[in-house]
């Protein structure tokens, strides 16, 4: 085998491996939210009562648009013990001042709509984590991430095909 053919196969193999790894990585990243959304569907449905429902405004800086913060608080009981929940869906905000925030959005109409949906005193249901009764949600996350898995999988399959074609031996032409 001559040197240009070998270097071309090495480049082709490298491109295939990069596409394969990238496609599989993005697929895994898209699968994680789907898995988390499916977990809450197996949680225990529990009656709860809304005790706080309000919208706050957060102005990060004078150069940015304000962000609406929805504060929801609800009480529920598990095994005779009362718990307080603040999660609307299963999502985390990582700053200390967002500990009790249920949702953050730049759209104040959506925030107001969510607060109006869960008015103070409303009896509704929440889903409680059986392994950790202090964790509960009012609504399940969307499963939409699963519908976009095909896109990064195309890259993974294409990368695998490119890598395979670089590794396989081609028969020599008779001549």
Residue-range domain boundaries for the chain? 8-38+148-167, 43-139
pLDDT, the chain, mean: 87
pLDDT in tens, 84-132: 999 998 876 656 566 677 888 888 999 999 999 999 999 999 999 999 9
DSSP state letter for 48: E
> What is the model's pLDDT at position 5?
84
Rounded CA separation 97/62 (Å): 19
Cβ atoms < 10 Å from Cβ of 75: 15
Rounded CA separation 145/31 (Å): 7
Nearest to 98 by CA among 69, 135, 62: 69
Distances in whole angstroms, Cα of residue 122 to Cα of each of 61, 129, 133 = 35, 21, 21
* Averaged pLDDT, 44-66: 88
Rounded CA separation 163/166 (Å): 5
């Amino acid at each position: 085998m001559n040197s240009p053919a070998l270097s071309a196969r090495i480049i082709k193999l490298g491109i295939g491996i990069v596409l394969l790894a990238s496609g599989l990585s993005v697929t895994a990243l898209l699968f994680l939210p789907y898995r988390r959304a499916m977990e809450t569907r197996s949680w225990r449905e529990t009656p709860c009562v809304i005790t706080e429902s309000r919208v706050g405004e957060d102005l990060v800086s004078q150069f940015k648009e304000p962000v609406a913060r929805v504060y929801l608080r609800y009480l529920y009981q598990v095994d005779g013990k009362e718990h307080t929940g603040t999660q609307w869906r299963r999502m985390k905000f990582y700053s200390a001042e967002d500990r009790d925030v249920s949702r953050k959005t730049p759209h104040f109409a959506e925030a107001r709509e969510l607060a109006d949906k869960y008015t103070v005193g409303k009896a509704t249901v929440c889903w409680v984590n059986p392994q950790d009764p202090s964790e509960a949600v009012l609504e399940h996350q969307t499963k939409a991430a699963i519908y976009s898995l095909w896109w990064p999988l195309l890259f993974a399959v294409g990368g695998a095909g490119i890598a395979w074609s670089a590794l396989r031996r081609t028969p020599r032409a008779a001549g």
